[in-house]
Chains A and B, each alone.
Chain A
Amino acid sequence: MQNIYLGIILAPLMGALIAGLFGRKIGRSGAHWITIIGVATAFLLSLIVLRHHVLSGAAPYNGSIYTWMIVEGIRLEVGFLVDNLTAIMMATVTFVSLMVHIYTIGYMHDDDGYQRFFSYIALFTFAMLMLVMSNNFLQLFFGWEAVGLVSYLLIGFWYKRESAIFANMKAFLVNRVGDFGFLLGIAAVLMAFNSLDYADVFAAAPLMASMTVQIIPGADWSLMTVTCILLFIGAMGKSAQVPLHVWLPDSMEGPTPISALIHAATMVTAGIFMVARMSPLFELSPTALSVVLVIGSITALFMGFLGIVQNDIKRVIAYSTLSQLGYMTVALGVSAYSAAIFHLMTHAFFKALLFLGAGSVIIAMHHEQDIRKMGGLWKYMPITWVTFLLGTLALIGTPGFAGFYSKDSIIEAVHASQIPGAGFAYFAVMLGVFVTSLYSFRLYFLVFHGKERMDHHTQEHLHETPAVVTVPLILLAIPSVVIGAMTIEPLLFGEVFKGVIMVTPEHNVLEHLAEHFHGAMNFALHGLTGLPFILVLAGFGSAWYLYMARPDVPERIRQLAAPVYDILDNKYYFDQFYQRFFARGSCETGTVLWKYVDAGLIDGLLVNGTARWVGWVAAVTRHLQSGYLYHYAFAMIIGLLILLTWFVTR
């Protein structure tokens, strides 16, 4: 098996390297073939791994494949931990990545950076796999930073656009905040356990549960709480949780396939995956779990509101992604880790579908992204229309669709949970269902139905996108519909995550759910009468009324509730606040540092000073290095004498 794991990692890397380094030589089709073959290989091998572990129930593999060095007993190495959690992540990542690769052929068809793009996305696949397959914190961090790097490169893919550069700088800086916390968390783990290996750390964790640490003298904090919250800060950055969410909507400056792959389906879920992987640590700190829960519910609800007022097709979906990430985080907070992973998986499929569908619309609309200038597209692009509708139904949680199973499980889990904050979280996720339904159908109606608001020229050229675009849509639509019903039982109530995800008995909310679970079919039928479905219908109804029946009403509501609208339109003023306070503050601090510290101290004293000093030393030595033999001999004798006197007079 070890060779298969290695093959999964190396195939996309090879593709990325060849497409990146020899892109000019192998040409455009060479670049897409080599990367697609690499990722397809990884996908097929991942399926073998999935069968081996999840279906045949093989024991987890945990082994190191390369040790760089051992420092003070800490091993710096590359190793794989492959269990059911990893296998599911690997299959999901490689599948979505493969779809996006194929789709890109169509989407980036006329772009100059074609080879570069393929090289990046294959490299991303490699990095993401390194992240999920890691068996130690160091490699996790490597993968974490590597996916961040590729994300940064891809947001700024069109590096001549000012807004793209601004967005990638923003993503980079915000992620730095998260990664700093993450790094501190890893440092805390290293300090407490003196090991970076998952197995060692998880085995030793229960013994550390009551240990405290003094960061501020006099205040004893639980070590586990500090560690977990620091790690979670990393997850907040990567998985875009409030208040570190601001980079994700802006990341839509990148090409749409990237929004689907990195900023919806895979990379942003790395934080969720990481917390699930660290469940043995998080379970030891109810405080940390509460923090996770509250942050998640805030994100789930308040980011959903913002989706309602956006007019850019990709941004609506981006806010929807934020909100759904909030749902996953909520699931983590109530210790329903498997529900979080379940939602992660279903979300990966339907959100990738929605983004790629949006991309298909964008291609057809000649890169117009404003939904106010669309409408009535259903008759021009039937495949996109139907698949987009399926994605929307999955997202809002229509009973029977994939999203329903995962989202309803989360809601039920929150309902059953007793930990502080669960009450608020229940309210948030419940209301979130209505909001999700509202913005999703608003988007759907404005794009595909109603009056055709595009200009005449665009309208004439509207037609369905080519097969490389629509085939991935169809292939993603299938799991978006059926994957939930197929996998809910083994994932949530079966043995799949036994021994992988650890839940203490008093937190085990999924057990409550299991008591009432009688098959996927029953679950869906029961869902038809549940409160969430009523909210879904309410959302659908509101959207229909506002955007189909009476399109003049939204404008009037906006005027009536101007202050609320302003807050939403300005995204709760997060951006302005960060811009004024952190960005400008940093700039001003930077100016001060530059003027006084940099120009004065460093340039003046250290750099030029050192240069002068080096020059002086060199001049003196050059003088000594005169070329005269007797000078040299003299220096030797002097050296000898100094050493002698040193030891004799000692």
Chain B
Amino acid sequence: MNFVAPDFMPVVPELFVLTMACLLLVIDVFLEQRQRYITYGVAQLTLLGAALLTLVTYAHAPVTTMFGHYIKDAMGDLLKIFIYLSSAAVFLYSRDYLRRRDLFKGEYYVLGLFGVLGMMIMVSAHSLLSVYLGLELLSLSLYALVAMDRDSPVASEAAMKYFVLGSLASGMLLYGISMIYGATGSVDLQVVSDAVARQGADNLVLVFGLVFLVVGLSFKLGAVPFHMWLPDVYQGAPTSVTLYIGSAPKLAAFALMMRVLVDGLGTLQGDWQQMLIILSVLSIALGNLVAIVQTNIKRMLAYSTISHVGFLLLGILAGSPEGYAAAMFYAIVYVLMAVGAFGMVIMLGRTGFEVENIDDFKGLNDRSPWLAFLMLVIMMSMAGVPFMAGFYAKWMVLQAVVNIGLVWLALFGVVFSVIGAFYYLRVVKCLYFDKPEQSEPIHISLDTEIAISANGLLLVALGLYPTALMTWCATALLN
């Protein structure tokens, strides 16, 4: 049997991240605690290097390699760039938090980088095997990250729940993959797609496989009713890990949906569209309604995530190029908002005090007008107020849904985003109209402050010039 070496050029960014993560593991062993910032620096440099490699090799036409298991195309590269970007922001925002909590360990960064690698593989997966591989690599890193604060009972409980439920979801996904393999005889998404096109939607095994796949993917995204882990994990995990879970993995999960459902099972669109409608309706409704009664900010943001996932699904289920582009735009904007919001939660903490409740934001305007303004921008954007990025994102997915004739669904989305505006505005009310309960000054290192300012202003800029990113998304999806 001859072994033909695959073309390694397209996977250079992955190889780079892998090498650096392994290297970091070794370096970290030889560092003392006070030199830990070297680990942090190397992790950031890794992301920077990967970003440069991806940019330099930006794919203008799709290339498959690794015997068809891996594809490098513009959509993947675009998403990867935002994965690096948000992960870099995550590392930066959580640095001081980890230090405060005595969690400033090499593992966080090593696991973080492995997670990034997992996401990269998910984004570029071109077979069901690489889908599973990437997903598990990410998930295992996340389980470990959640459990990192070993002495915290809530964190351990959250990690346990996440692990068990995640395994269950992985099992379902794997089961679905096996059925698809049984029906089509291949795991290569191209082959699967051709086979499905021949067989049509009448093959019950295929539909069974599809349901299991959708369930597995929905778990990753956190769509209702597969969302139960989300609030508990978001709340229980150390905030730096919540920040990580809540951001870049959503981009990877979106890519996964696109790869599996659109590239692989595009012919079954009629079937998965109905499933996604159910999931998105439930997510939008439950996410927004339950978020209203939350007092814990992390839990509130968890439910808000669920509702955003519902909106994201609207774009995918539209099944049109503009819908996909809108969903992609939504995913990117959502990640920027989530990073900002959780970043804000982290930053307002200090030694011996962490922000847990919405009330902790009271009177922020009196303590730091600039941070209050940034939080205002993030909340307004999440609520979908015009001239913020979030508005345009919502608008585009709703328009995509209207264009395929599902006006009721769009109306439903609008009504619930109005309901949802309540809990975002409540935070704004806390920021500006309540008296502060604490008077301690807020200390934020300069680089963090610059990053969060850029983060907030980016949301305004994307609201004012949405077309730039939108065009980028649309062209990336075209080739």
Residues of A within 8 A of B (CB): 66-71, 614-615, 617-618, 621-622, 624-625, 627, 629, 631-633, 635-636, 638-640, 643-644, 646-648
Contacts and interface: CB of A to CB of B under 8 A. Distances in A.
Given A621-B290, A632-B165, A639 B211 contact: no
B133 interface: no
B228 A617 contact: no
25 contacts: A66-B464, A68-B464, A614-B289, A614-B292, A617-B290, A618-B293, A621-B286, A627-B232, A629-B161, A629-B165, A631-B228, A632-B165, A632-B229, A635-B226, A636-B165, A636-B215, A636-B226, A640-B172, A640-B212, A640-B215, A643-B215, A646-B275, A646-B278, A647-B210, A648-B204
Interface in B130-175: 160-161, 164-165, 168-169, 172
A646 B278 CA distance: 11
B289 A617 contact: yes
Given A621-B286, A629-B161, A644 B208 contact: yes
Given A633-B164, A633-B165, A640 B211 contact: yes
A617 B392 CA distance: 30
B211 A647 contact: yes
Contacts of B168: 633, 636
B211 to A, nearest CB: 5
Interface string B453-467: 000000000001011
B231 A625 contact: yes
B95 to A, nearest CB: 31
> What is the interface of chain B mostly: helix, strand, loop, or mixed?
helix
B214 interface: yes
- Most chain A beta carbons < 10 A, residue from B168, B208, B226, B228: B228
Interface of B: 160-161, 164-165, 168-169, 172, 204, 207-208, 210-212, 214-215, 219, 225-226, 228-229, 231-232, 271, 274-275, 278, 286, 289-290, 292-293, 387, 392, 395, 399, 464, 466-467
B215 A618 contact: no
Contacts of A643: 211, 214-215, 275, 278
A612 to B, nearest CB: 12
Nearest to B165: A632
A632 B232 CA distance: 11
Contact of A69 (B172, B229, B466): B466
- The 4 lowest CB-CB distance pairs between A and B, nearest first, are A639-B225, A632-B228, A618-B293, A617-B289
Contacts of B231: 625
A314 B161 CA distance: 76
A73 to B, nearest CB: 13
B164 to A, nearest CB: 6
Given A68-B464, A625-B231, A647-B207, A639 B392 contact: no
A638 B168 CA distance: 13
Contacts of A617: 286, 289-290
Nearest to A643: B211
Contacts of A67: 467
Given A618-B289, A625-B228, A647-B207, A639 B215 contact: yes
Given A639-B225, A639-B226, 19 more contacts: A66-B464, A67-B467, A68-B464, A68-B466, A69-B466, A614-B292, A614-B293, A615-B293, A617-B289, A618-B292, A629-B160, A629-B165, A632-B161, A632-B165, A636-B215, A644-B208, A644-B211, A646-B275, A647-B271
B248 to A, nearest CB: 24
A609 to B, nearest CB: 13
Nearest to A634: B228
B90 to A, nearest CB: 26
Given A629-B161, A644-B208, A644-B211, A636 B290 contact: no
A607 to B, nearest CB: 11
A83 to B, nearest CB: 28
Contacts of B208: 644, 648
A139 B450 CA distance: 34
B119 to A, nearest CB: 23
A648 B229 CA distance: 28
A632 B467 CA distance: 41
B290 A618 contact: yes
B467 A69 contact: yes
A432 B325 CA distance: 64
Contact of B207 (A614, A629, A648): A648
Contacts of B387: 68
Contacts of B466: 68-69
B169 A636 contact: yes
A625 B296 CA distance: 15
B270 to A, nearest CB: 11
Nearest to B224: A639
Contacts of B395: 69
A618 B392 CA distance: 29
B235 to A, nearest CB: 11
A635 B228 CA distance: 8
Contacts of A639: 215, 225-226
Contacts of B226: 635-636, 639
A395 B274 CA distance: 73
A64 to B, nearest CB: 13
Given A67-B467, A644-B208, A644-B211, A635 B290 contact: no
A633 B466 CA distance: 40
A627 B235 CA distance: 12
A503 B189 CA distance: 67
Contact of A635 (B225, B278, B292): B225
